[in-house]
Amino acid sequence: MNETVSGHPLPCGRLVEDVFDELDSGQVGPHAQECEHCLAASRGLRALNDATSALLDDPAEPPAGLLDRVMGAVRAELRRGDTLTLPAPLGPAEVSLRAVAAVLRYAADSVPGVWARHCHVELDPGRSDAVHIQLSVSLRYGTGPLHVVLAEVRRRLAAAMAGQVGLHVESIDLELVDLWEEGNR
Amino acid sequence: MAPVQTVGRAGPEPGESVMDDPTLVGRARDGDLPAFEALMRRYQGRIYRLALRMTADAGDAEEVTQDVFLSAWRRLPEIREDAAFSGWLYRTATNRCLNLLRRRRPTSELDDQVPNQVEADPQRATQSSAQLEALVAALQHLTPEQRAVWLLREAHHRSYEEIAQVVGTTPQAVRGRLSRARAQLAELISPWR
């Protein structure tokens, strides 16, 4: 449609757009209640509204393999990333920082009301068996006293680091970056 | 790996909390694949349906959807606002569809001649209802820009401001285009002349 055209005129001289605006506002004037063209236009709007409802339940779904294909490409592009060197009896072991971050996020998520977000881990410059952790979290509104919840997050992060990675935690910077509410997205 | 909960079209079960977009985007930016997969599960249907109704071609819709999510993965560091992810997806998908249709246009200039009534295509046997079938056919008689405006607003409930950004105009102009698109669609699916 040409943008300069102001609307779709009906044989009675009114614009379809104006009839629809009236219907939307619920204030249909005397002309539109009587005029056959306006009544036909309002039937057209009802038909469109019904069809729009059908479109909202559009059954079309993406092909089954699409997600796997994209995730395969994403996985292939994922850089190996930085690694931590773990002291081990038969020689050092390399572990990817992304894997360590995943362990830490999992530990933080296990505290009710806590969702881990950004996670950064680095080795202490002075020691080969200790790390510094930075983690941002989002907290469910009304979860409880902040210091209690964050203390529990710290405790679980340190336990996961020691138990599952085998490194000592030197410091943990926790940042509360957001709040979420149950049932909202 | 963290058990990222995902959501299908039916939405979460009662009592289940589903990670919000900002959380998933923040994690995905760190290279957390389950978080990115959860985002894709959340949005792939919506983006695919937008592309399908824009292009009226399942192959094109699939290609657009795949491109949009691959770009999303590559551009995650650039998407500054974690909460802006869905807007970014819609904007990118709409632009890809419009570009694709612009390339396709020379062979279908006859779209300018809008017939009074749209005949439902009997080959569209997969459509669940005659109404949907008629609407889908009618949509192809709008210009691509008008179709984008109508779909983004009526089928995807995006804001006027966001739609205005996508098509490069003002919210006021979007309202005007939407109003004309609606009149045209109503006429096409239920002719009153």
What pLDDT sits at residue A58? 81
* % pLDDT > 70, chain A: 96
What pLDDT sits at residue A184? 56
Residue B5 C-alpha, separation from nearest chain A C-alpha, in angstroms: 12
Q: Which residues of A touch B72 (CB under 8 A)?
A: none
pLDDT in tens, B36-84: 999 999 999 999 999 999 999 999 999 999 999 999 999 998 887 767 8
Q: Which residues of A touch B142 (CB under 8 A)?
A: 1
CA B125, B127, B130: angle at the middle one, nearest 5? Answer: 95
**Per-residue pLDDT for A147 more than 80?**
yes
What pLDDT sits at residue A134? 96
Instruction: Indicate the average pLDDT of chain A.
Output: 88
Local confidence band at A123 (pLDDT 50, 70, 90 cut-offs): confident
Local confidence band at A5 (pLDDT 50, 70, 90 cut-offs): low
* Widest pairwise Cα distance in chain B: 62
What pLDDT sits at residue A8? 86
Reduce the secondary structure of B89-132 to three states and give it as a string.
HHHHHHHHHHHHHHHHHHHHHHHHCCCCCCCCCCCCCCCCCHHH
**Run of H or E including A132:** strand A130-140
**Per-residue pLDDT for A183 more than 80?**
no
Reduce the secondary structure of chain B to three states and give it as a string.
CCCCCCCCCCCCCCCCCCCCHHHHHHHHHCCCHHHHHHHHHHHHHHHHHHHHHHHCCHHHHHHHHHHHHHHHHHHHHHCCCHHHHHHHHHHHHHHHHHHHHHHHHHHHHHHHCCCCCCCCCCCCCCCCCHHHHHHHHHHCCCCHHHHHHHHHHHHCCCCHHHHHHHHCCCHHHHHHHHHHHHHHHHHHHCCCC
ipTM score for this prediction: 0.84
Give mean pLDDT, residues B108-135.
55
CB contact under 8 A, B30 and A119: yes
pTM of the shown model = 0.83
Measured between CA atoms, the residue of chain B closest to residue A106 is B2
Is residue A93 within 8 Å of residue B63, measured between CB atoms?
Answer: no
Residue A12 to residues A26, A39, A130, B189, Cα–Cα distance (Å):
21, 11, 82, 21
Higher pLDDT, B157 or A89: B157
DSSP bridge partners of B139: none
Would strands A93-96 and A83-86 be described as parallel, antiparallel, or unpaired?
A: antiparallel
What pLDDT sits at residue B8? 42
Local confidence band at B106 (pLDDT 50, 70, 90 cut-offs): low
What pLDDT sits at residue B105? 65
DSSP bridge partners of A174: A135
**Per-residue pLDDT for B118 more than 50?**
no
What pLDDT sits at residue B54? 96
DSSP bridge partners of A83: A96
**Per-residue pLDDT for A101 more than 90?**
yes
Interface test with A, best of B5, B32, B74, B141 (most A CBs within 10 A): B32
What pLDDT sits at residue A177? 94
What pLDDT sits at residue B193? 54
Across A87-129, where does the E strand assignment appear? 93-96, 114-123
Give mean pLDDT, residues A73-85.
83
What pLDDT sits at residue A6? 73
Quick one: DSSP state of residue A161?
A: I
**Per-residue pLDDT for A86 more than 90?**
no
For chain A, report the end-to-end CA distance as a whole number of angstroms: 37
- In the block, tokens 């004037």 appear at A29
Residue A127 C-alpha, separation from nearest chain B C-alpha, in angstroms: 25
CB contact under 8 A, B192 and A41: yes
pLDDT in tens, A149-162: 999 999 999 999 99
Kindly tell me the sign of the dihedral angle through the C-alpha atoms of A23, A27, A30, A33: positive
